[in-house]
């Protein structure tokens, strides 16, 4: 990932979580479902300073929409990059399921 993208992820983590992020390392996370790649991403791990609850954040660019950035905190069940990606996938799946259940937005009459 180019340095400019790394800087964008750092800024996203800082903006979303109100802390100062320092790059620590990157790791590839590959999630599969039924022997098919679901997401294959490089997660950038940042140490956080100034956050009341978390000391680390995980950030990556969406493999589907490169304008979308994920930045999750190391908290609760999110104990590493793999868990961060899995949590984001679950959230995406829930959002899609809710969208299907409610249908498309209605135009005002």
Highest mean pLDDT among 35-44, 53-62, 92-101: 53-62
Q: Helix (H) and strand (E) counts for the chain?
A: 2, 4
Q: Distance between the two ends of the chain, CA-based, in angstroms?
A: 47
Model confidence, pTM: 0.81
Q: How confident is the model at residue 99 (pLDDT cuts 50, 70, 90)?
A: low
| Domain extent listing, the chain | 3-101
């Amino acid at each position: 990932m180019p340095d400019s993208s790394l800087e964008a992820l750092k800024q996203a983590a800082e903006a979303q979580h109100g802390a100062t992020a320092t790059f620590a390392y990157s790791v590839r996370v590959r999630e599969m479902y039924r022997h098919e790649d679901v997401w294959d991403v490089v997660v950038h791990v940042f140490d956080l300073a100034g956050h009341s609850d978390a000391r680390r954040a995980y950030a990556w660019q969406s493999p589907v929409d490169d304008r979308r950035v994920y930045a999750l905190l190391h908290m609760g069940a999110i104990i590493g990059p793999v868990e961060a990606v899995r949590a984001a996938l679950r959230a995406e799946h829930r959002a899609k399921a809710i969208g299907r259940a409610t249908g498309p937005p209605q135009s005002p009459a």
